[in-house]
Structure 1
């Protein structure tokens, strides 16, 4: 295999760091997963640097030359200055991560929010090849979106665009969200939200199959139980699908996309995906001509590919040399 150039992609999430080597055509030449630590940004960066050392020394690179590094990060990122601003509100410690990696490796570095990176992967290698106007909605442990309008992704004046998990969909809810409001969709329809809903209501459904595994309960388990006609799980999933459909229809009215792409592990469940589609009102989404679809990209690798994409486009995405 004679490959001239590649980009190092780093996808730092809440539970894992995925490091890999990616070609400019989006092919992953190699990758390794490491446990992450997002207790705070200082610790997260320390773990990231150790993981990069391990990858470099024990995995190595296939291409003759690495032309840059792209890093996707959980939280808020100033991609213009190469600064990781915060993991989440209350965990704020701005770190010049692009400069740190540049000094360490001698390579140009670009940073981006993890969902922004996934959106960039879709733009470069997924549905974005068919349209310049789309929304990428990531429904995983949390919930966020990337908005591409006329070929450009919107990141906002404070690098906080797309945090639609904090859209209130139940004004009468008493479910508190970390953002300080109540009734946010992330608390009801993300993987974590689905799990929390089940735990909140289990006392009223002692015969639910979920009662047997409370200590190990996951959103995925609730999704599977709903497919098996468990009453509690069915109600939770029905409500989550309805609220996600409402969110999609609200977003469609905002940016007028041709396509809405659903990413993240939760929407890979066929039963849940179909319920979301069933709740969409045809008149509202009539201009979404390419449909509400699922990502074509592998869910466990989309963040890595997206990180590499921003590493390939340093002039457009704000690299640090």
Structure 2
């Protein structure tokens, strides 16, 4: 494979689309951001097409782009590139890779965003130390992937890793969007903690916390309030820490990973990990020999790098099949 060949990687987020040419070593070349609209898969797809068109108009050498690879939220068939759903309530089967390939006359691949982040971690991060780990993404939501013997477990319907919907508190008053009570995501994700704080604030509980211009209580403010003994912050963050600790220990018992890697925007400053570790029972964690660590990869770039790596992997498979 030529050194100057690149994959055009696309990372669809809730508010932006990040696009960059990426080399095989994971280096990004002139990334650009564009606005996204994830009201539906149809609007999201239209935004992806428009963003790619704008990027290609400015690209210095489109001939070196060998493929397009997309990272997006939702359930995606990593083999065919079919995008089954944004979430269970917004499910429209879109042949994402095929439609983009027809449009741009290039091979196109697609995968779930947390799958892509896990792939980047596997190839550029902790995967260089162990072949068995749990990648746990704690951001607006919570999801993860288990890597076993170097392979990412994807599930029979490409729905593996939705561990934000594992119940960790059967007595919790907090109802999840999935319909159950006590799922870890509404207790411990960035959005979940914000919602929980606002519920307590609406009940008149005294607090110094405020809602920002986006209508949320920022996670850093919650962590700071916890340290300053703000009662609302302490209630919300304590619930979140205990929920995450229970989740991690449950998955450790199921998967027996050598490492647990935390990623996502909630984990970036190390505060969460520092306060999680005392809640993890030594007997349960004794075989996590590499330890529990924050990802060393940039949380803003890990998914787009993983998307590119997915593209390079798939192109190598196609090259091998064409030779054989």
Same fold (TM over 0.5): yes
Partner of 1:306: 306
Give the TM-score normalised by structure 2. 0.92
Alignment partner, residue 42 of structure 2: 42
5+ residue gaps, structure 1, are none
Give the SS at the match of 2:14. coil
1:30 has 2:41 as partner: no
SS of residue paired to 1:88:
coil
Q: Any idea what SS the aligned residue of 2:91 has?
A: strand
Determine if the alignment matches structure 1 residue 153 to structure 2 residue 152.
yes
Change (3 A) 1:62 1:286: farther
Which structure has more RCO (C-alpha within 8 Å, separation ≥ 6)? 1
- How far apart, CA to CA, are the structure 2 residues paired with 1:265 and 1:286? 27
Q: Which deviations, in whole Å up to 9, do the C-alpha atoms of 1:211-245 show, x marking residues without a partner?
A: 47594523333223223332221221122112111
Distance in 2 (alpha carbons) for counterparts of 1:136 and 1:317:
25
Question: What corresponds to 2:199 in structure 1?
Answer: 200
Aligned pair in 2 of structure 1 residues 213, 37: CA closer, same or farther (>3 Å)?
closer
The match for 2:110 is: 111
TM value normalised by structure 1? 0.93
Gaps of 5+ in 2: none
| Partner in structure 2 of residue 180 of structure 1 | 179
List structure 1 segments (4+ residues) > 3 angstroms apart after TM superposition: 61-64, 203-207, 211-216, 315-319
Q: Which stretch shows the higher mean deviation, 24-33 or 118-127?
A: 24-33
1:53 counterpart = 2:83: no
Separation in 1 of the partners of 2:90 and 2:211? 35
C-alpha separation in 2, matches of 1:313 and 1:283: 38
Note closer, same or farther for the CA distance 1:54–1:189 as it changes in structure 2 (3 Å cut): same
> Is the Cα–Cα contact under 8 Å of residues 6 and 23 in structure 2 kept in the other structure?
yes
Instruction: Please give the alpha-carbon distance, in whole angstroms, between the structure 1 residues aligned to 2:317 and 2:80.
Output: 10
Are the equivalent residues in 1 in contact too, given 2:176–2:186 (CA < 8 A)? yes
Instruction: Name the SS for the 2:176 alignment partner.
Output: coil
Q: Deviations over 1:134-156 (max 9, x none)?
A: 11000000000011101111111
Q: In structure 2, what is the Cα distance between the partners aligned to 1:41 and 1:294?
A: 31
* Rounded Cα–Cα distance in structure 2 between residues aligned with 1:212 and 1:102: 43
